[in-house]
Amino acid sequence: MERNSSQFLMTMDEVMLLLQKNNSSVIIMDVDGVIRLCNQTFILQTGYAREDVVHKSIKQIIPNMKDVRFWITDYFESIHSNQPYRENRSIIVQMRNKTSQSSEYSIEKLQCTDDNQLYMLTFLDMNLYNGLNLFHRFSDSFMKDVNLGVILINTEFRLIDISDMACQVLGFVREEVMNQPMDVVFKGVPIDHQLVQRTILHGHTVRNHAFSWTSNDIRYELLMDSNLLKDETGAIVGGYVIFKDVSNLRSLEEQVQRSDRLSMIGQIAAGTAHEIRNPLTSIKGFLQVLKKTFKTKGMDKEFGYTEIMLTEIDRINQLVSEFLLLSKPKNVIFELMDISKVFREILPIIHNEAILHGVVVEYITEGTLPDVLGDRELFKQVCLNISKNGIEAMTEGGILTIVERVDSEEKKVNIDIHDSGPGIPSFLIDKIFDPFFTTKENGTGLGLSICQRIVLDLGGTIRVASKGFGTTFTISIPFSES
């Protein structure tokens, strides 16, 4: 727009247009230094929001300015000119984040129709704009896109900003928690379990602190850092917490540990189980001889005792066999198997067990499943063990639902075994795969650890989900497309 401000008066709309068109950072102020308008570049450059500056004094932006009226009018009145005035010295501009930058500037006098006299102050240092613009864009995208939880707090322990990922993991709605005191944000969470501790404002630095957080029934394993934020004089202005979701890494680590533990127990088991079985076999043999003798001599009481002893020996034998399975089974027969077919073979056994407990079994299949490689007998044992656990967890009227499905993307066959029992409390869920962990009076606690061993050997996984009530075990076995 070609114009000479001394020749005609501009409307406010024209002033606005002038501002928008300008690539530099521009503010419009009156003769008292009250800011009337600013452009988008100025917002990006300084970090201020429009409402932070409009109707405020220019001294907020240029703090070391002395007499505004004098400074603005000095040049124009002394030389009686309305031409733009470019000053080659720099002024110090204070950004919203309290850092300062120096910038050259020009002032232009604008004659407006609906205001007496306005001045346009243009910050001319484009490097400053580029650098800061980049920084603002980085910090914006850091809060929005980066896969990190970020929380900023001020000295009053209020939440000043929070990244999208932090909202997602913590189950917060950004607008609801912004500017809230942290005690309100973490209301209901015991003080030791609050992710952001007031102590960061006392200079308590945290590095790589492992922390668990559960929201919407999903448990996250987090690794967090927190520290103070200080201004250039060293005064504390707030603090930040940054965290990373390491749930996958943790579960991998736990799987490795569990697998190590299992193989150690397996080795011990393999070594000792045979040694237990051998004497048991001879004890059992002699007991059978005794049993016969007691019978022929009519010694009914003693005969009864031998029967009990023999049943107990069978129990020990059974336990030792299970124990042996913990070591890598030696005669595993790998063959291509149709999971549906294998499952249908054990379904009658599951039904019988269900009838004994007064529960119902539902079996849902997607039809033809791809064949997977594995040992059918061991695979049957896994499905039986997990189904038995589900049935045992339910009272009369419960429903055990078995669903077979294909995950074509991950190339896996999944079997969900869901029960409508009481569920597994979250503090126990990590322990159920440990050998000898049981909550049952007559349980060995070996069932799930054996299942885990077998499925890991097939290159698969067993996952468990329990939300309040009901439990789903998912057995996933990979298949390869032929």
Ligand X SMILES: Nc1ncnc2c1ncn2[C@@H]1O[C@H](COP(=O)(O)OP(=O)(O)OP(=O)(O)O)[C@@H](O)[C@H]1O
- What residues make contact with ligand X under the rule CB under 6 A? 385, 389-390, 393, 419, 421, 424, 432, 437-440, 443-449, 471
The two structure tokens encoding residue 8? 């005609």
| Whole-number Å distance between alpha carbons of 143 and 166 | 9
DSSP 353: H
3-state secondary structure of 245: strand
For Mg ion, the binding residues (CB under 5 A) are 389, 447
Residue type, 30: D
Nearer to Mg ion (CB atom), residue 152 or residue 462: 462
**Which is nearer to ligand X, 221 or 353 (by Cβ)?**
353
Closest to 362 measured CA to CA, from 312, 400, 392: 400
Cα–Cα distance between 347 and 399 in angstroms, integer?
14
Of 370 and 447, CB closest to Mg ion:
447
Q: Is 226 or 389 the residue whose CB approaches Mg ion more closely? A: 389
Which of ligand X, Mg ion, none does residue 437 bind to, with CB < 5 to 8 Å depending on kind?
ligand X
Question: Residue 445 binds which one of ligand X, Mg ion, none, with CB within 5 to 8 A depending on kind?
Answer: ligand X
CA proximity to 102, closest of 131, 128, 84: 128
What single string gives the DSSP state of each residue in 109-134? EE-BSSSS-EEEEEE--HHHHHHHHH
Which secondary structure element, helix H or strand E, spans residue 361, and what is its range? strand 360-365
CB of 428 to ligand X, least distance (A): 7
Residue with token string 């945290």: 206
Residue 383 beta carbon to Mg ion: minimum distance, rounded to whole angstroms: 12
Question: Quick one: which H or E segment has residue 324?
Answer: helix 300-326
Could you say which of ligand X, Mg ion, none residue 432 binds, taking C-beta under 5 to 8 angstroms by partner kind?
A: ligand X
Give the residue with the Cβ less far from ligand X, 27 or 354. 354
Cβ-closest residue to ligand X?
Answer: 447
Quick one: what does residue 108 bind among ligand X, Mg ion, none, with the CB cut-off 5 to 8 Å set by partner type?
A: none
Helices and strands (H, E) in the chain, number of each type: 14, 17
Find the shortest distance in angstroms from Cβ 310 to ligand X.
21
Quick one: 22 or 401, whose CB is closer to ligand X? 401
| Residue 84 binding target from ligand X, Mg ion, none, CB below 5 to 8 Å by type | none
Task: Name which of Mg ion, ligand X, none residue 424 binds, using a CB cut-off of 5 to 8 Å depending on partner kind.
Answer: ligand X
Gap between the Cα atoms of 218 and 251, Å rounded: 13
Provide the token pair at 213: 């957080």
Q: Which does 257 bind (CB under 5 to 8 A by kind): Mg ion, ligand X, none?
A: none
Instruction: Report the nearest approach of ligand X to the CB of residue 471 (Å).
Output: 4
Task: Report the DSSP pairing between strands 360-365 and 399-407.
Answer: parallel
Nearer to ligand X, 376 or 418 (CB): 418
| Nearest approach, Cβ of residue 352 and ligand X (Å) | 16
Q: Could you tell me which residues are beta bridge partners of residue 112?
A: 10
User: Closest distance between ligand X and the C-beta of residue 249, in Å?
Assistant: 25
Give the Cα separation of 220 and 239 in Å (integer): 23
Least distance (Å) between residue 387 CB and ligand X: 9
Q: Given the complex with ligand X, which of 24 and 385 has the nearer CB atom?
A: 385
Give the whole-angstrom CA distance, residue 167 versus residue 229.
21
Return d(Cα 269, Cα 332) in angstroms, integer.
18
41/387 with CB nearer ligand X: 387
Which residues does 293 contact at the CB level (< 8 Å), separation at least 6? none
In angstroms, give the least distance from the CB of 167 to Mg ion.
40
Rounded-to-integer distance, Cα 110 and Cα 83, Å: 10
Largest CA distance in the chain: 138
Distance of closest approach, residue 284 Cβ to Mg ion, in angstroms = 26
- By beta-carbon proximity to ligand X, the closer residue of 99 and 472 is 472
User: Least distance to ligand X from the beta carbon of 389, Å?
Assistant: 3
CA angle, corner 140, sides to 136 and 145, nearest 5? Answer: 145
